[in-house]
Structures are given as structure tokens and as C-alpha cells.
Amino acid sequence: MTILENKPETTSKPDTAIFSHLESEVRSYSRGWPAVFDKASGSWLRSEDGKDYLDFFAGAGALNYGHNNPVLKSALVDYIMSDGVTHGLDMYTVAKRKLLETFESHVLAPRGLDYKVQFPGPTGTNAVEAALKLARKVTGRESIINFTNAFHGMTLGALSVTGNSMKRAGAGIPLVHATPMPFDNYFNGVTEDFQWFSRVLDDAGSGLNRPAAVIVETVQGEGGVNVARPEWLRALADLCKERDILLIVDDVQMGCGRTGPFFSFEIAGITPDIVTLSKSIGGYGMPLALTLFKRELDVWGPGEHNGTFRGNNPAFVTAAAALEHYWADDKLERDTLRKGERIRQTFMNLSDMFDGVSTRGRGLVQGLVFDKPEDADKVCALAFEEGLLAETSGPSDEVVKLLPPLTITDDELEFGLNILAEATAKVRS
Amino acid sequence: MTILENKPETTSKPDTAIFSHLESEVRSYSRGWPAVFDKASGSWLRSEDGKDYLDFFAGAGALNYGHNNPVLKSALVDYIMSDGVTHGLDMYTVAKRKLLETFESHVLAPRGLDYKVQFPGPTGTNAVEAALKLARKVTGRESIINFTNAFHGMTLGALSVTGNSMKRAGAGIPLVHATPMPFDNYFNGVTEDFQWFSRVLDDAGSGLNRPAAVIVETVQGEGGVNVARPEWLRALADLCKERDILLIVDDVQMGCGRTGPFFSFEIAGITPDIVTLSKSIGGYGMPLALTLFKRELDVWGPGEHNGTFRGNNPAFVTAAAALEHYWADDKLERDTLRKGERIRQTFMNLSDMFDGVSTRGRGLVQGLVFDKPEDADKVCALAFEEGLLAETSGPSDEVVKLLPPLTITDDELEFGLNILAEATAKVRS
Amino acid sequence: MTILENKPETTSKPDTAIFSHLESEVRSYSRGWPAVFDKASGSWLRSEDGKDYLDFFAGAGALNYGHNNPVLKSALVDYIMSDGVTHGLDMYTVAKRKLLETFESHVLAPRGLDYKVQFPGPTGTNAVEAALKLARKVTGRESIINFTNAFHGMTLGALSVTGNSMKRAGAGIPLVHATPMPFDNYFNGVTEDFQWFSRVLDDAGSGLNRPAAVIVETVQGEGGVNVARPEWLRALADLCKERDILLIVDDVQMGCGRTGPFFSFEIAGITPDIVTLSKSIGGYGMPLALTLFKRELDVWGPGEHNGTFRGNNPAFVTAAAALEHYWADDKLERDTLRKGERIRQTFMNLSDMFDGVSTRGRGLVQGLVFDKPEDADKVCALAFEEGLLAETSGPSDEVVKLLPPLTITDDELEFGLNILAEATAKVRS
Amino acid sequence: MTILENKPETTSKPDTAIFSHLESEVRSYSRGWPAVFDKASGSWLRSEDGKDYLDFFAGAGALNYGHNNPVLKSALVDYIMSDGVTHGLDMYTVAKRKLLETFESHVLAPRGLDYKVQFPGPTGTNAVEAALKLARKVTGRESIINFTNAFHGMTLGALSVTGNSMKRAGAGIPLVHATPMPFDNYFNGVTEDFQWFSRVLDDAGSGLNRPAAVIVETVQGEGGVNVARPEWLRALADLCKERDILLIVDDVQMGCGRTGPFFSFEIAGITPDIVTLSKSIGGYGMPLALTLFKRELDVWGPGEHNGTFRGNNPAFVTAAAALEHYWADDKLERDTLRKGERIRQTFMNLSDMFDGVSTRGRGLVQGLVFDKPEDADKVCALAFEEGLLAETSGPSDEVVKLLPPLTITDDELEFGLNILAEATAKVRS
């Protein structure tokens, strides 16, 4: 698919009867994008009626290398055709060895990181659950500090450190053992960083249960593209270190190059105690997750945390191929920053042109923020009509969040930004 | 691979340095089976040094149709080669429609089941978390009844209803909101079924928090191949219905034909309110899970439960292919029961021949139970040396648990049972 | 007051306007006994309109020595008149020293008990909260085992180990960290004692969180006069000891001689790790409570548990006087057993005479059990009309529970039993 | 006792053997004040060796009318001598009616308060537990907001909203369902009031569980004499009202005139939804507590919260006498403010004279704050030697907290302040 091919046709209403009949009301993306998708390639999705959609969403950040990336596809098909082990729990396999070696050589070693690697189950929420368990086991404490507008997952442990009140209510039990603290810039700079957090930690009468760990996203994607400054992250790391609290960076969405460097925390020069990775770590959009932690924290007993699909070997294969192809040098990182800057320019212009519009972001996660939340929704709806997929985020869905594939071409980027600019103009004029 | 090819060679020690160096101590299967697996086909795994292993484990029940099943492989590779959508969250896709239609036509409709289908994330523990959330939301109650030696998963919600004390301790917080009740035959038949459970439910002074739901496995795999009688399951269903408690059957391991019929609860003639499926539902060993529930329970709000890898489309493709190929008639079910009976005969003979050995099981989940737990471990270790993979289960790992692929040939079954019989003889003589 | 004085008059409706207007709907005893009481002496209460009521309730067991016992009254008034310290928190006072010395000489030493004494606050629920805290601190575990139909108090810790579902619902949060087990005879003897409890303790896969302690009443008063057999208590003590679980006997209602001996557990020859006392320990009906525990369990830090009214010195004075006067020999104990036997005879006769009536009890806590709960209520209502106070208990309020003062005279007892016998006859005929 | 009588003698070491032998290590006041007290009158305590101590502590605020106040003593002894009902649970009694009528006429009516009155058990922690239960029942929510350095009691519900980390650790379970917010002036005025609290309430993504209620002390006694400004209390009340959150004022220590008016919140002109009273409400230092709430919040079912010692009738008698004698006019209130001002003058002078000393307080709760916590301790120790009882408070015990009887004479006040001034001079010079 190419831009030229993207000729929206008059389309017939798609056949969605079976979805309405059989699939739970919990489905959500299909409500905003009521097409039935069939094929995908690079930055494009094609619906069954032949309409192409430029993808500024990238599987919620799980497709940093684009859809059906040919390099990874080739490795994947070869593996399947040769009867490589598909499903291996935590058995040793050749594919897993290859992934570990590549992760060591291309990710950990170059960054001087002495982490152990856990395969906690193939989803981000599994990686977070394992991180929280480990932090509690290491410290003997129960309480976790999370941040306003955090998103960490939907299973009970991860949900307890997630901010969204609708999703929290879904738990059906009171979510406890977590206390929210203000994320960077929560008060628009009028309040000293960590004023509240450091004070309640140091006040023996504050009533705060002493935390095992802090869990943080360096950029909050679901929370509305809230970007933590490097100095804030450094101060947070210092605060944790001084008080013997473990620092968990949840890099499920912002890792794997989304903000430029492989890990999103590299910009701050910090070394978290525990790191979670998922989404794009598999490379091809297949389920995979890792929990990384400092060597000395590896106090797990054998089998103390497990799960059937920890050994999703096809994803090991694509993961290793992606690391080898994209992380042997800094080209992807530089491209990401350059493209991110291109989006930022467009969004700055839109902010200048229209009242009630602002922007924030880092690398290839960029947000166009509308004072009136319904405007963000309208922009995304108009974009969809024009063949562009972009979603909203933030507590009131007030942010148009861009997560294009890192491999998007400049022309594709331009094409999509034009659609967004026109949609914004239409909505705000 | 075939039986004839299975010539164990003198093997060099496998290269596992990177695993020792980098992978967390939490790994477990690799400790009992210290081979590095490379290829897999049907009922066989081959290690990189060319040794073949007959697989009586089947990915902990995730490979009911065998490794790299050619029917599914063909569908999978075609899909990938044609750039079908790989990753789709809960967007509509052609592959998902196909799966829903096939699930309706081949599974639900023939059994008269009017369930809605939720894609809760691609693992069993996700399916359980969604089931528990929904039960709590529907009833407005928090408490769940689980059973002794239950296993439902490792995320906090699922772990709270899991029995194993080592795994529970891994939570690092007190696990609450669940109360265990005795599983069928917990007292070897000397105590009336549900004596305790029904009494505390009906006694307003018992101190039991009124439960939202009961979660049960019809056969407890991890718990030691504990088999609930159909009449016990019926009585449980009646008890739940009379007292307005939801019944959740966790069919993650026992569903998809493991015990014969597609759903393991069919033998009892009951219709659970909620059912979880995972492991073999994807067919090819790739992550997939479903939560099913009665239509009237679908009170989910859009997005109230979500997760990145809910739309693992390659697994939709293999799932649909498996349903079409294996569940259009009752051949697989009949074969499963026949082969299960074959195992049972062998195990009955072993029980007769050796003191301290007994057996239990249903369909193709069969357990050889040793009064001395260390014997079970020895049998599995001997079997591994002879090229057979089988794992132990039960609270003291006292049960050799057989979960062969449902597609295993009679000759392969014979071959494996001979190994087990010899190992048992060696251990118990 | 005496029996002869007890001439029920035609009474005008009492003035209860201020209660209706100002007191919360939570009030309960005043609903069944809508008199306004004014004076009290020995076994009698007199309402302001001059009607006398024989008291088979004794302040829910807080008035074992009767109302305004002259021996204690004299000590109390002397103390107040001489400006003895009234309120002392946990300061040393002469009155507290006297109480401790008397408790040592009259209670602990004669029974060979080497307990430390905590003043945890002046109510039973405070004593229970302190006991639970200490058990958790000593063991490092959170979970507590309680029994069906237990009653331990209304503050959140004590309420979590209480059985009554209406009272539990009042918590407004899910009550966790406690698991109920069947009290003695819960299955009418058809099931082996501790079958379920010992099994789940010993099964590493049962899902029961390992308990810090077991809390038990030897006779459940609120729960319906359920009497634990000595051999059951011994087996429970053994079970706890073997598994390193602390045994807490809540003797708030059954201690201070209610069942005969000072401690209700003496009959079983066991030594609990922790004991709670309240109600009649103060002797005169004024708030006082003690938590006793084995010397080696005294791991409290100074002030780790506190409370304003721990030092209710007037109650120390009456407590010491009661111990000196009533516990220097075994007269009270023998009288209690004799009078209890007298009640039991009457109740046995009633059980023989009327269908649907049975009896159980120990010492001077005796219950007349009605198969139809409304009958128990009717009997108490009739008794009230005839000038007798007795309350119902049990999960369905199906038991007429007798807790007369231990100091009741034989004539008074006879008088009251006649009223009950007539009421029972009227209700059951 | 009078000032002239206060001649400290050379004293022999008191006999405290039984305390050391028998009383739990949890005792605390006796450690700082190792005298054995015997008699008490007005503002004075006398130890058994005849030494008199001026009491600037007043039973932790439970003796606002002094020790053994003759007006109350007379009423109390008359009541006891006339065989008034001592112990009545929640039965109607003449003494309770009198208290309710007096409370209505002297407290509620003059202030235009339409509260219902609950007798929740005779201690402050009972009153708080009832308040929290009711707030949860009314709102259907679980979470409570408390404030930094709050103190509300030691039973599990009250402890969960208490700040002190040592006391919290004593729970032995994780304390949940409460989130602390900054008390007034927590950041020394540099941060806008309620910046954090109102922001997380209004942000649907903050992760804060929506609270049932806020519980607050207008002056935190145990927390270090932290005084909330009237405007802060008004803003808090507005914030609660706007967001449908119940406001609980815990007036256990600050009520009954301690800060001047009967209720400490009168200064702010607010009407809390729920109010707790204890300590001095009984007047004579005997256990009593009330929970007050707006009429429309009285959703209690009969017996839904109960407790044996709710009907401590002697305390009803002294409570009513105290209200009649002291709250018929505003003399006590004016005196309290005048005497409080007298202390404040002395403390201001000390603050001016010595570095590292400051002061805060309201009415007759006044604190002398030392930058070096050990200085506060030394001052209290020196004062004890000179015959003055005063305790420290605050998270580091850095505040000398004065809670003299409201009935203290000017000469006594002068006498005590001189001791404190000299002690401060000695310590800080």
C-alpha cells in the first residue's frame, strides 16, 4: 500500500452482524473505527472493502516497526516453515537463546545495564504484576506509589496502580495498597517537584504506608501524553534511592524506541531497579513481555510466578530480528527524534493558529491537546473519514495522541499531518 | 519425526550459559528438562543436539492438536504471507469475524449455548480476571469461593483464588476476598458433598461473606488431576442457582476437548454462567483467551476491561482452522475418550502391580499418583532420560500428570506408556 | 428489692419522647424492653413507674455479681469520696497496683498462669483488637481463624472475626483477613472434629492463608449458647500448638465465673496463649477490659497500642474488691454450677414436655432453644410482661439465653424459671 | 490540694514491682512519670508518697473540669448511693433521658444543631468506628480521607485513619481504605490550600478512590498541636459539600470546650455531617463517647452497631451535671480563651527569648515547639521533677503540649508556666 493507493471509495456498510451478536459490549476501538480490517502493511491498514487507512496509532504502540514488517515477516515465516518450537513455556529453546543473546548484545551491554530478564507472561499487565510482586518480595512492604493518570494494566495488581476511575470501578472490589502522587507538572509548575511526596515519606506521622516501590511512566500515553522532564525523573530516582524504595519504570508503551532511545528513561540518565517491556518488544505485534530487574533483586524462587504463554517462540524470533535490524546503530533513534520534531512543528503551528489547542510529546509520541475534549474526538472522527487512524487519550479524552510506526516515511507523515491539520481547522474554526 | 527416528544419542552438554547469566531464577521447566529445544512436530519435540522427545505434556495443555499441526500451519503461513492484519486490539478484522462465526457454528450453536464472547487479553489469567470482575460487577459483591488445590493464574485477582501456598506467598500482599471450599472427594467420600459450603451459606451467623461467584475447574490439572464427578458438578450448579451465586467454570486447561467434549462441563449437563478458555483455543500454541458469559450478564461498559494483545489475529486464524477441522464432528471427542481409556488401563495395571500407586483422570488428562511424592519426580526424571516429557502436579508434586496431544497416535501413546511403566517399575521395585 | 416487692402495677406509658427524638435508630434493647429503668439492686431492675424486673440478662453478662452489689458499692463510694484518682490512662496508681496484686494472688497464681496483663481500653472489643494485633505482630502473619457464629465485637478488627451477617454488613467495607471454621458440633456430630480445619492447614494447596491465631469462645453467647466440649477445646489447643498458631480465648462474656470456674477454659485444662476479659471483670458494670498473654508474647513497644480510658480507676477498685470477695475460695464456682444445674433441669423438663424445644448451656449461661425462632421471641415478650428480663440469641434469634447474676438467690431463680416455664407453655401449647 | 501544699519532698523510690512483673511492656505514661498516684483533686494529682503534681495534661483532655470535680462528685455519689442503674447497655434509663435532655437543651438547641445521638461504646475509638461505618453505609463508598498527623484511635478502623507510623505498624496488617491529605499549613503556607486534594478529587484519572468521608481534627493534639484556621475548615466543608463527601469532625479531644466553645468547629461556623465526642463528655473521667450525625444520616438498623458498655450510666449522670453546671452560660468559654491567651503570652515570650522555640495553639490546648525534639522531652522531664505533668506530642515528640483543666485557677496556671519557663531556659541556655 502507498499513499497513491489511498483512494477512499464509496463503501458499502461492512458486515458486522456477528460482532454485534456475539462479542461483548466491552469492545471499544471498533466503535470509533467501524471498519472491518483485512490487510496491513507498513504504516497502512486496509479494510475489506478496499479502503486504506494510514495508521497513526500503531497498535497502541505495539507496532513500532510497522505492520507485517518484511524483515520480521521473513524471519517469522522461515521459523514456522521449519517447524521451530512454537510454544515452550519456560523451557530452553534455540529461539529464546537467540533472543536473550541479542537482547544482551544490542540492548543491555551497550547501555551498561546489568539486568536479569524475566518472561512474566506475554502481556504488559503480566509484566507489571511480576514487577510489583518482586518489589514487594524484596522489600517486605505492600504499598506502591503510583502517579496521577497512570496506566499500567487491567489485572487486579496492575489496575490498583492505574488512575482511570472508570477502569478502576471495573475491579468490583476496593483497590488498595496504592497511593497516587502528582505526576510531573501536575500543578503547572507552581508547586515544587515532590513537595508532597517527599514530605509524607519523611514525616513519620503522615499516615502514608511506607512504599515498596514507585511505578512510573516517563511519558504517560493513556494518561494524555504527559511528559516527565529528565530532571524530574532524576529527582524521583534520587528520592527513591535515598529512602530505599524501588523504582519501577513501566516502559511497555514508551520503550522500544518510541521516544527515541531504546529505553525511554535513557534521556534522564537513570537506571531503574525494575523495568517492564511489552507491546513492541515482540516487533511484529505478537504477544510478548519482559520484566527486567537489577541482578541483586532476582530473589524469585523457581516457578513462583508462571504462566502458560511465557514462551511465545515466534515472538522471540521476531523480537530478535527487530533488535538486530533496528538497534545495531542509532539510525532509528535519530529518525524517531527527527520525525517527532516534524510532528511537533505542525502541532506548534496549530497551537499558534487556534485558541484552546496546545501540544506536548517526546519522540514519536505526540499529543495535540484541546481545551474542549469534544474537539479531540471530532478531529479523530474527521481523520478516520479521511483515512487516518488516531486515537484520543487523557482523563477526558481531550488529547489526540499520535503513535505512528517509527518506520513511517516522511511522505506518509506529511500526508497524515495534513489530514489532522485540516480536521483541526474544521473543528476549531 | 516418528518413533523410529527417536534414537537418543550420546549428547554433549547443551549451551545454556546465556540462560544462567541472563534469565531470572524464576524459570522452572528448564530445570527438570535441561535440553535446548529446537524443532517440534506433532507429538514430538527435538532438542538442538538431535534428540527427540515424545511430548506427554503438550505445552501444559496448550497444544491439544500437537506441535505445528500442518492444517493450522498452512492457514497461519497463508495468513502471514498475505499480509493479514497481525495485531488488532479489539478492532473488527476479517480474521476475528471468521473466528466468531466458526465459534458460533461449531461450538456454541450445536450445544445450545447463548454466550457472549469477550477477548480479555491473550492469557488464561486475563480470562479469569475478566470473569471475576464481571461477576463482582453483576452481583455487587466482592467475595469469591474457590476450591482446595485450585489453579487459576498468577495475576493478583486470579492468584487470590489459587490454592498453592508458594505461589500465593509470591503475591507479597495478603490475598483476600476468596474463601476455599473442599473440592469433590476432598475427604475421600466420608463427608457429604457441600456439607460445609451449603451450611455456611445458609447460616446467617457463619461469618462467610456472601459470594459473588464460585470458580471451579471440573478437573484440577495443576492441583493433582482431581476429577469432579458429574453429580458433584450438578449439585454445585444447583447450589449456586438456588442462592443466586454465579458459577464460573475455568476451562482454560480442561476445555477444547481435553476431557473429551469441547467443554469439560458438558459431561455434567450444566451451563455455567461464565466460562474461561485459553491454552488450546488458539490451536497452534499462540496466546489467545476467551471469557464467555450468559448474554444477560454482559453489563460491561465499552473499554471497561482492555489490553493490548486482545487481537492476536494469527491466533484467530489458527483457532478458527482448528475448530473447523476438529470440531465439525465427534471424531476427536471419541478418539480422546478411547485413548484416555488406554492410559487408564495401563495406570490401573500399575496401581495393581505396585503398592503406593493409584490413578485418576478423565479423557486425556490422566494422573499416576504416588503415595511418596519423590517417586513421581523420579519417574519423570527417568522418563526424560528415555525421551519422554511428562510433568508432576499436585500439592506435593505427587502426581505424574499426562496431557498428551489429543492427536497423538496409538503407537506413540503405546511407546510413551511403556517408558512410564518401566520407570514406575524401576522406582517402585 | 425482693420478690415480694415485685408487684407489677398498671403502668402509664413511659415518657420516651427524647429517646425517639434524639437517639439513633441503632438502639435495640430498648425496643424489646420499652421501660425506663431507674433503680437496680441485686438481681432486680426497677422502672421509673415502680415496676420491678427480675434480671436474667445481667447486663449481657457484665453484672455477674448483681446490680450495685453492696460490697463493691461500698469500696467504690469510699474511693470516690476520698478523692482517689479517677482517670489515669496507663499511669501507675495505687488502685491499679491493688488490682494487679489481687489479680495475681486470686486469679493467676492459684491457676499457675504466667500471663502478662494489658489494659487495652475499657471494652471487650478493645481487648480483642489488642489480642489480634499482638498475635499478628508475634507471628508476622495476617490471617485469623474464627468460628461460625462467633461474636467478638464491633470495631473493624473484632468485627472481621464476628459471624453475624447483619453486623458484618455494617462495616461498609469488605471484611477480610479472617476465615470461619465450624464450631464444635456444627454438624451435629456426624463429622469428625476439625476435619476441615486440620485438612486445609496441612494441605499446602488448600488456598488457606496460614493463620496467625485462632480466636474462640468456649461457649458462644451471642451465637446461641453453643457449648464447646472440653475435648474439642483440647483438640483445638493441640492443633494450634502443633502448627505454631496462637490460641486466643475470648472470655469477655464467659469469663469471671459465668460457666463456673473463673476462666471458662479451665474445664478443658488448656492454657490459651492470649485471653480477653471484660464485662464482669470490673465487677460493678463499669467499663474495664484486660488482655492477658503468655509472658514470652509481650513484644509490645511502649505506647504501640493505647487509648484514653485504659485507666478507669473506679473500675479497678470494684474489680479488686470483687476478686477478693468472690474468688478467695470456690464457693461462687460451686454455687454457679449448682444453679446452672437447676436451670438445666427446668429446661430439660420443658424440652421433654414440648416439641421443638431443646436446651444447652454450661454453668449460668443456659439456653432454651426453639425450632421456630418466633417462639423464642414470644417467650421473652411474655416474660417481660411478667417482670422478667431475658434476651434471645443465635443466628435466627431462636434461643432464649439466660445470663442471671451469679449471685442470684435460689428463690429468685425459681421465680424466674416459673415465669419462663409458663411463657413456654403458653407459646408452645 | 493547693499550690501551698505542693512541697516536693525527698521521696523514696515507689514500689512498682507488680507493674514490672505483671503489666505489659505496652505501658507508656508510667515510664515518663514513674510515680504511683493516689489522690487527685482539681488541677492536682498526689502520689502515694505525698508529692503533689500540677496537672497540665488533664487525662489527655478527658478531665476538662478537673479531677474529682466536687459538683460532679456529689451527683455521682448520690446516684450510686441511691442504687441508680449502673450498667444499662442501650436500655432506656432515667439517667440517659436526663443526659439526652440536657444535651439537647444546653448543647444542640442553642447552637441550632439537629443531630441524632448515638452511644457507640464508651471510648473515642468506638465513636470513630461508628462514624466511619455510618459514612460508608450512607454513601456506599469505602475510602476515607484523613490528614497528615491525624490521631483517631487504635482499633483497626480508627487506626487506618491515624497517621503515626509506629502505631500503624502495630496493626499487623496493611491498613487500607484511607488516603492522607495535607493538614492546614503542612507546607508553611507556600502551597494553596487543598491544591492536591481538590485536584485529585476532580481528576477522573487521578487514581484516588472516591471517598465516603473526610475525617478531621480542628486542632491536632497528638499530631503536635497543629491548628487548622477557620477559613481552612470552611473551605474543607465547602469542598466536601460540593462533591457530596461527608465531613466528620473528630472532636474527641478538642470538643467539650477545650478550644473555648463547646464544639471546636464553632469558630469556623461550619456544621459537620458527623461529630465524635468522648474524653471530657463524661465530665468526671469515666468512659463515655457519643457519635452525632445529621438527622437524615440516621440509617442505622437496630443493633447494627452495639457494645456492652454503651450504657455507662454513672457517666451519664456526671455528663449531665457537667453540661448543666458549665454550659448554661458562656463563662467557661470566656475563661478558657482568657487562660489560653495567658499561656500563649508566656510561650510567645519564650519563643522570642530562645532560638529554636515556637508556639501554636487555640484556647487551652497550647504547644511549645522545639526545633530539637529532645529539648521538648527534657523540658517535660524537668517539669516532672518540679511537680508538673506535661506531655510531648508531634511526629517526633517535639512539642510540649499543654492541656490543663479548663477549671484551673489563674494562680495554678501561673505556677505551672513558671516551671515550664524555667525548664525551657535551662534546656535552651
Residue B262, pLDDT above cutoff 90: yes
A-chain CB neighbours of B119 within 8 Å are 23
Tell me the β-bridge partners of C227.
Answer: C219
The verdict on B151 and B264 lying in the same domain is: yes
Over the stretch C46-61, which tens digit does the pLDDT of each residue have?
999 999 999 999 999 9
Sign of CA dihedral C204, C208, C212, C215: negative
D-chain CB neighbours of A180 within 8 Å are 200, 206-208
Q: Tell if the CB–CB gap between D173 and B174 is shorter than 8 Å.
A: yes
The position carrying cell 494487679 is C100
* R_g over Cα of chain C: 21
CB D52 within 8 A of CB D64: no
pTM for the whole structure: 0.97
Here the CATH number for the domain that contains residue A289 is 3.40.640.10
Residues 6+ apart with CB under 8 A from D159: D152, D153, D167, D168, D170, D171, D175
CB A368 within 8 A of CB A400: yes
Over the stretch A181-190, which tens digit does the pLDDT of each residue have?
999 999 998 8
D-chain CB neighbours of B174 within 8 Å are 173-174
Q: What does the alpha-carbon distance between residue C276 and residue C129 come to, in Å, rounded to a whole number? A: 10
Q: What does the alpha-carbon distance between residue B302 and residue B320 come to, in Å, rounded to a whole number? A: 25
3-state SS, residue A145 = strand
Residue A4, pLDDT above cutoff 50: no
Q: Which amino acid is at C321?
A: A
Q: Tell if the CB–CB gap between A205 and D165 is shorter than 8 Å.
A: yes
Residue B8 lies in a domain: no
**How many domains are contained in chain B?**
2
The verdict on A335 and A319 lying in the same domain is: no
CB C179 within 8 A of CB C143: yes
Residue of B nearest to C189 (CA): B191
Q: Which other chains touch chain B, taking contact as 3+ CB pairs less than 8 Å apart?
A: A, C, D
* Domain end call among A267, A295, A327: A327
pLDDT score of D427: 96
Residue B76 lies in a domain: no
Residues 6+ apart with CB under 8 A from C79: C95, C313, C314, C317
Query: Across the interface, which of A142, A162, A175 has its CB nearest the CB of D174?
Result: A142
Residue B75 lies in a domain: no
DSSP D10: P
Over the stretch C141-199, which tens digit does the pLDDT of each residue have?
999 999 999 999 999 999 999 999 999 999 999 999 999 999 999 999 889 999 999 99
pLDDT score of D7: 52
B397 touches chain C (CB under 8 A): no
The verdict on B253 and B106 lying in the same domain is: yes
B-chain CB neighbours of A103 within 8 Å are 22
Query: What range defines the domain where residue B311 resides?
Result: 84-327
- Could you tell me which residue, C348 or D14, shows the higher pLDDT? C348
Q: Region B407-427: what's the mean pLDDT?
A: 98
Residue A173 lies in a domain: yes
pLDDT score of D4: 47
Residue of A nearest to C140 (CA): A140
Q: Other CB atoms closer than 10 Å to residue A202's CB: what's the count? A: 13
Q: How many CA atoms lie within 13 A of B344 on its CB side?
A: 14
Residues 6+ apart with CB under 8 A from A329: none
Give the containing element (helix H, strand E) for D145.
Answer: strand D143-147
Tell me the β-bridge partners of C361.
Answer: C366
Interface test with C, best of B143, B164, B203 (most C CBs within 10 A): B203
CB C213 within 8 A of CB C293: no
Q: How many CB pairs under 8 A join A and B?
A: 376
Residue of C nearest to A172 (CA): C174
The verdict on B280 and B354 lying in the same domain is: no
**Sorting pLDDT into bands at 50, 70 and 90, what band is C429?**
confident
Q: Which amino acid is at B142?
A: E
The position carrying cell 497461519 is B76
The verdict on D300 and D361 lying in the same domain is: no
Residue C2, pLDDT above cutoff 70: no
3-state SS, residue A29 = helix
| β A290-294/A357-362 pair status | unpaired
pLDDT score of A274: 98
pLDDT score of A429: 85
Q: Is B356 exposed, middle or buried (0-12, 13-18, 19+ CB in 10 A)?
A: exposed
SS (H, E, C) chain C: CCCCCCCCCCCCCCCCHHHHHHECCCCCHHHHCCCEEEEEEECEEEECCCCEEEECCHHHHCCCCCECCHHHHHHHHHHHHCCECCECCCCEEHHHHHHHHHHHHHHHHHHCCCEEEECCCCCHHHHHHHHHHHHHHHHCCCEEEEECCCCCCCCHHHHHCCCCHHHHHCCCCCCCCEEEECCCCCCCCCCCCCHHHHHHHHCCCCCCCCEEEEEECCEECCCCCEECCHHHHHHHHHHHHHCCCEEEEECCCCCCCCCCCCCHHHHHCCCCCEEEECHHHCCCCCCCCEEEEEHHHCCCCCCCCCCHHHHEHHHHHHHHHHHHHHCCCCHHHHHHHHHHHHHHHHHHHHHHHCCCEEEEEECCEEEEEECCHHHHHHHHHHHHHCCEECEEECCCCCEEEECCCCCCCHHHHHHHHHHHHHHHHHHHC
Give the containing element (helix H, strand E) for A211.
Answer: strand A211-216
**ipTM of this complex prediction, to 2 decimal places:** 0.97
Identify which of A181, A178, A249, A180 has the alpha carbon closest to the alpha carbon of residue A219: A249
Q: Tell me what the pLDDT averaged over chain C comes to.
A: 96
Chain B nearest C-alpha distance from A304 (Å): 5
C146 touches chain B (CB under 8 A): yes
Q: What does the alpha-carbon distance between residue C86 and residue C250 come to, in Å, rounded to a whole number? A: 27
Please provide the size of chain A in residues: 429
Residue A74 lies in a domain: no
B-chain CB neighbours of D173 within 8 Å are 174
User: What are the DSSP calls for B217-240, one per residue?
Assistant: -SEETTTTSEE--HHHHHHHHHHH
CB B3 within 8 A of CB B411: yes
CB A239 within 8 A of CB A211: no
pLDDT score of B4: 47
Q: Tell if the CB–CB gap between B204 and C165 is shorter than 8 Å.
A: yes
Residue C111 lies in a domain: yes
Interface test with C, best of D19, D82, D85, D104 (most C CBs within 10 A): D85
The verdict on A348 and A306 lying in the same domain is: no
The verdict on A312 and A238 lying in the same domain is: yes
Residue C1, pLDDT above cutoff 70: no
Largest CA distance in chain D: 67
DSSP B294: E
CB C267 within 8 A of CB C105: no
For A261, A400, A410, B319, C48, the CA distances from A257, given in Å and listed in that order, are 5, 20, 18, 32, 84
D187 touches chain C (CB under 8 A): no
The verdict on C55 and C105 lying in the same domain is: no
Q: Region D237-263: what's the mean pLDDT?
A: 98
Residues 6+ apart with CB under 8 A from B222: B149, B151, B164, B253, B393
The verdict on C239 and C213 lying in the same domain is: yes
For B319, D262, D327, D353, the CA distances from B322, given in Å and listed in that order, are 5, 77, 84, 88
Over the stretch C67-90, which tens digit does the pLDDT of each residue have?
999 999 999 999 999 999 999 999
DSSP A175: -
CB C109 within 8 A of CB C133: no
Q: What does the alpha-carbon distance between residue D295 and residue D273 come to, in Å, rounded to a whole number? A: 9
pLDDT score of B345: 98
The verdict on C265 and C369 lying in the same domain is: no
pLDDT score of C341: 98
The verdict on B222 and B247 lying in the same domain is: yes
Sign of CA dihedral A200, A205, A208, A209: positive
3-state SS, residue D107 = helix
Residues 6+ apart with CB under 8 A from D24: C116, C117, C118, C291, C293, C298, C300
Residue D6, pLDDT above cutoff 90: no
Query: Across the interface, which of C21, C45, C133 has its CB nearest the CB of D170?
Result: C133
Q: How many CB pairs under 8 A join A and D?
A: 115
C-chain CB neighbours of B168 within 8 Å are 207, 209
Identify which of D284, D229, D224, D235 has the alpha carbon closest to the alpha carbon of residue D256: D284
* Domain end call among B300, B327, B354: B327
**Sorting pLDDT into bands at 50, 70 and 90, what band is A298?**
very high
Chain C nearest C-alpha distance from D64 (Å): 12
The verdict on D150 and D216 lying in the same domain is: yes
Residue B94, pLDDT above cutoff 50: yes
pLDDT score of A13: 79
pLDDT score of B124: 98
Residue C7 lies in a domain: no
Window C:191-220, CB contacts with D under 8 Å: 212
D404 touches chain C (CB under 8 A): no
3-state SS, residue D106 = helix
CB A39 within 8 A of CB A380: no
C121 touches chain B (CB under 8 A): no
* Domain end call among A283, A301, A327: A327
Over the stretch D298-327, which tens digit does the pLDDT of each residue have?
999 999 999 999 999 999 999 999 999 999
Q: What does the alpha-carbon distance between residue A247 and residue A214 come to, in Å, rounded to a whole number? A: 5
Q: Tell me what the pLDDT averaged over chain B comes to.
A: 96
Here the CATH number for the domain that contains residue D402 is 3.90.1150.10
Residue B77 lies in a domain: no
For B64, B100, B390, the CA distances from B257, given in Å and listed in that order, are 8, 18, 19
Interface test with A, best of D147, D165, D202, D206 (most A CBs within 10 A): D206
Residue C4, pLDDT above cutoff 70: no
Chain C nearest C-alpha distance from D355 (Å): 31
CB B307 within 8 A of CB A152: no
